[in-house]
Structure 1
Amino acid sequence: MNLILLFESDFSAADTVIISDRRFHHIRQIHQPEPGQQLKVGLLNGEIGTGIVINLSEHQITLSISLNRSPPPALPVTMLLAMPRPKMLKRTLQTITSMGVKQLYLINSYKVDKSYWSTPVLQEKTLTEQLLLGLEQAGDTQLPEVHLRKRFKPFVEDELPAIALNTRALVAHPYNATPCPDAKQTQTTLAIGPEGGFIPYEVEKLQETGFQSIHIGERILRVENAVPVLLARIFPV
């Protein structure tokens, strides 16, 4: 936890918070703070600053809060990700969040097992937990928006043209594709397929919408590895 995320419900006064949940146990065990010590804090969807320890007991910590700077800038990207396996989904959500993606569409694909859409990970509480872990890791406060699209063709035909309009539209595809373009800080729509990639029909539908097929080399990566590699290659560090 590189940032202690705060919620409006934590505030007992305009500049004072009391924390007694998972975050408190982490602070107590890992940071082991003393009264007067400063901790890095940030208000969810708000600014970042410092929290000075006022009081620490066995059950809660009280901090005096000062928020005075913006969170890290978001990546200028909308990501379309074919629904991964549930176990992989948790890790991938944290990675995507920690790297600064703020618009994520989980989409269907021929190679996506129907059972994946029934995973408890997609329940709002569990989904948000994974996003919060990614924010804490990165020292960010801006929660991503996650959209679920269970039908590929209607999404690509009806919604995607507007989403990808005036953006650099790329689909990561290991076959019959051009090398990954040079890194640019430009608005991008990036589509990443399931394990084994999109089927030819899906690639063609994306290309009809203006997507360029790209690859990142001969090696075929798992989705959870391909995501950070692609983002690191497409955008300047």
Structure 2
Amino acid sequence: MNIVLLEPEDIQSDTWVIHSKRQLQHLREHLDITVGQNLKVGVRNGARYTTEIISINEQEVCIRPISDEAVPAKLPVHLIVALPRPKVLRRLIMDSVTLGVERISLIHSYRVDKSYWQTPFLQQLDNYVTLGLEQAGDTIVPEIHMYKRFKPFVEDVLPSLISKETPSYVAHPYAEQSMPVNIPHACSVVVGPEGGFIPYEVDLLTKNGCQAVSLGNRILRTETSISYILGRLFS
């Protein structure tokens, strides 16, 4: 945790309150906080501050703002990813938020087990987003959308996201074209499930404006490929 992310309702005039049990436990166990100590704090979808601790008790920590700090810039990317296994979903959301993705869409595909859409992890996305923001020192929550039908998403939603200024790349290990490097513009990136998109899905994506691109001859796990792609595109 590199900032404590507060909710807007935690801001009470000049005195702000930290009362989340998870955050309090972290502050006590890892930072050994004391009155007078400075603490980096952000407000969800708001600003980021250096604050001073003014009181501590079992239920809460009270702080006051001292100065503003810059919020890290987002990556201008829309990450479109086939819904992964529930345990992978947690890491994927946290890592994507930490890396600065500004929009995430979870989609269905042939190799996505339909039971994945019933996982309770989908109801806990806000928790994973919070952990990712706190790790990065960010405060701005990315948009997250879910599409349970592949074909309607590709035909009805995806084309509206694509233009000359904002291309869309689908990661496909057998594509002839390589993934671009250090691009100067926004884009969408489409990443398939474990096992990849089936040929029909790749064809439908390319027919609707995506460019099929390869990351090389190694087959990567979903969460590994996302970190690699974002580092490559925005290095």
TM-score normalised by L of structure 2: 0.95
Aligned pairs (5 A) from 1:198-213: 198-213=197-212
Q: Secondary structure at the match of 2:158?
A: helix
Change over 3 Å in CA distance of 1:66–1:163 after alignment to 2: farther
Aligned equivalents of 1:55, 1:171: Cα separation in 2: 51
> Which runs of at least 4 in structure 1 moved beyond 3 Å after TM superposition?
none
Aligned equivalents of 2:34, 2:176: Cα separation in 1: 56
Change over 3 Å in CA distance of 1:45–1:67 after alignment to 2: farther
Give the alignment's Cα RMSD to 1 decimal: 1.2
Deviation at 1:174, TM superposition (A): 0.6
Aligned pairs (5 A) from 1:95-110: 95-110=95-110
Identity %: 44
Q: Secondary structure at the match of 2:30?
A: helix
Aligned equivalents of 2:176, 2:74: Cα separation in 1: 28
Match of 1:141 in 2: 139
- 2:173 maps to a residue whose letter is P
Unaligned regions of 5+ residues in structure 1, if any?
none
Provide, for residues 88-129 of structure 1, a one-character-per-residue CA deviation record: whole Å limited to 9, x for no partner.
000000011001112111001011010000010111xx1100
Unaligned regions of 5+ residues in structure 2, if any?
none
Aligned equivalents of 2:179, 2:83: Cα separation in 1: 22
Aligned pairs (5 A) from 1:147-166: 147-165=145-163, 166=165
Deviation at 1:49, TM superposition (A): 1.1
Match of 2:188 in 1: 189
Instruction: Report if the CA contact (8 A) 1:76-1:185 is conserved.
Output: no
Match of 2:169 in 1: 170
- Deviating more after overlay: 60-69 vs 187-196: 60-69
Match of 1:57 in 2: 57
Deviation at 1:31, TM superposition (A): 0.9
Q: Secondary structure at the match of 2:17?
A: strand
- 1:147 maps to a residue whose letter is H
Aligned equivalents of 1:218, 1:16: Cα separation in 2: 55
- 1:174 maps to a residue whose letter is P
- 1:71 maps to a residue whose letter is V
- 2:15 maps to a residue whose letter is T
Equivalenced residue count is 233
Aligned equivalents of 1:45, 1:26: Cα separation in 2: 22
- 2:105 maps to a residue whose letter is Y
Deviation at 1:67, TM superposition (A): 5.4
The answer to whether the aligner puts 1:219 opposite 2:207 as a matched pair is no
Aligned equivalents of 1:234, 1:2: Cα separation in 2: 25
Instruction: Report if the CA contact (8 A) 2:46-2:139 is conserved.
Output: yes
TM-score normalised by L of structure 1: 0.94
